[in-house]
Amino acid sequence: MKEAKEEYPRIGIRPIIDGRLGGVRESLEETTMNMARNVAALFERELKYPDGTPVQCVIADSTIGGVKEAADCAKKFERENVGVSLSVTPCWCYGTETIDMNPHLPKAIWGFNGTERPGAVYLAAALAGHNQKGLPAFGIYGKDVQDVGDLYVPEDVKSKLLSFARAGLAVAIMRGKSYLSIGSVSMGIAGSIVDADFFQNYLGMRNEYVDSTEVLRRIEHNIFDQEEYAKAIAWTKENCKEGEDFNPAEKQSTREQKDQDWEFVVKMTLIIRDLMIGNEKLAEMGFGEEAFGHNAIASGFQGQRQWTDFLPNGDFPEAILNSSFDWNGIRAPFMVATENDSLNGVPMLFGHLLTNTAQIFADVRTYWSPEAVERVSGWKPTDQAANGFIHLINSGSCTLDGTGQQSRDGQPAMKPFWEISEEEAQACLNATTWYPANNGYFRGGGYSSKFLTKGGMPVTMSRINLIKGQGPVLQIAEGYTIDIPENVHQILDERTDRTWPTTWFVPKLTGQGAFRDVYSVMANWGSNHGSISYGHVGSDLITLASMLRIPVCMHNVEDERIFRPSAWSAFGMDPEGSDYRACQTYGPVYK
């Protein structure tokens, strides 16, 4: 399948200058423009779009000393598909005359910390202007004084610049895209009651809805690439090993039926992808309407129960699409939410856009206390497991990247697709077994993936919940995947379902509130699902949430890592309370 090249939004950089001609402005032109070029080089070097290409920056045609040049810059940014706005300056400038007034662009200002010219004074004045006009902006100011013209970007400044840019690009990339709902509500799960107002007002996204029968129609009428299907089924037979059928003998499918299920779920995978992003091959086959797709950056498949009571389940298509590889090789993962849980699909999308990695979808299934583990297994948890742990497990829709078979610096990892080797992709496949579906849950058959996530990965679990009268809130729990003794894993794991993938998770504890102990994390989690991203990215999620006006109701991110718009400090001294008040005051960006 040939995919169209996407035009991603760019980062716009606004070099702001003291507008006084006759010596002052002239002396600062080169320094100011070099500051902009230096930041552009940083972004282009450090950041990549979801397709692996370097982030692109647009710099204003001239330095901006007043409203005319600010307006010229705004027009250029419109023409050049700019989605994020950063102003930089080494000096005093005219505050409200030079700020970015576009209400839909995430914006920040870096005021250079130097003694020769007061960049910090402009930063403070411009932020005050933003706040007074209701245009929240992030303030960036280095801790250490630098010499004028110094092109070095201090680490504290660099960290904030990159955090702002990552989150801002996520906002811009989501805008105008779709969430595709395939089917409707799954088993009364609130997150699969897809709320169009949330997507439109908070994310700038539209919603597309397709009945599950569209998948069946395309299978029965062969509306998929026949050549790719032949390639896909051959790859599946070679790389996806089938496990033992644990269903009662009298309820097991015949070999013929199992083979038909393999063919069915591979076709489902092709079709769900085509529904999301389209496929020009379908137009060549005479299916022009189907070839367009739904411009979906994320999707969800209802599955249970109307589908799975009589047709093969969606575990294989969800797992393969959520992974960074398939029969076409290594590629960017798709975001497909199990049970159409759109409120878990959104944090999957957040995590993917911030890290460019695949995301684990899981039930936040069971808290195992040390006492309970010892009682049922005879093993007393130690080290990271000493305070207990959480069993993350769901029917096999989880990304195969979640096996932990990729590595970075000798440690298990989940990496952007362009960093994954063929050997690592194969190791993920080899670590996964596909078991005939538990027909107590899935009467229509199918296959569920089974693997055990390697311990030692830093990860961040997150979740969006919608609260009546409040709106959306975000939960965040940074922590680690852990290993437990193999025999203990087997005892605990088989108390649930031996055909599903397992991740053992320990959150970082703070000793307070929802993070006073592991039990409290489980007890305060707002729904049955969580999205797990590689790395401790809670701070970036907080930055992104503030841009979208979504308050964070639960997190264990250290205070010094939290980065929100400067206006948030005007809403009170308690960070969480001020976050709620600021989000309520400003309201959804797109409403």
The answer to whether residues 157 and 111 touch, using CB atoms and an 8 Å cutoff, is no
Other CB atoms within 10 Å distance of the CB of residue 297: 25
Q: CA 49, CA 169: separation in Å to the nearest integer? A: 9
Cis status, amide bond into 305, omega within 30 of 0: yes
Q: Is 339 assigned a ligand-binding role in the annotation?
A: yes
Ranges of beta strands (E only) in 493-561 are: 502-507, 529-534, 552-554
80 Cα distance to chain centroid: 25
Ranges of beta strands (E only) in 24-175 are: 57-59, 82-89, 107-111, 138-140
Contacts 24+ apart (CB under 8 A), 539-542: 539/163, 539/563, 540/163, 540/166, 540/167, 540/354, 541/347, 541/350, 541/351, 541/354, 541/460, 541/462, 541/474, 541/476, 542/476
Using alpha carbons only, give the angle 171, 329, 262 rounded to the nearest 5 degrees. 100
Q: How many CA atoms lie within 13 A of 209 on its CB side?
A: 8
Q: CA 150, CA 144: separation in Å to the nearest integer? A: 12
Q: CA 259, CA 237: separation in Å to the nearest integer? A: 10
Element (H, E) at 309: none
What are the residue ranges of helices labelled H in 6-118?
24-46, 67-79, 95-98
Positions marked catalytic: 339, 363
Known binding-site residues equal 339, 363, 529
Residues comprising the binding site for Mn(2+)? 339, 363, 529
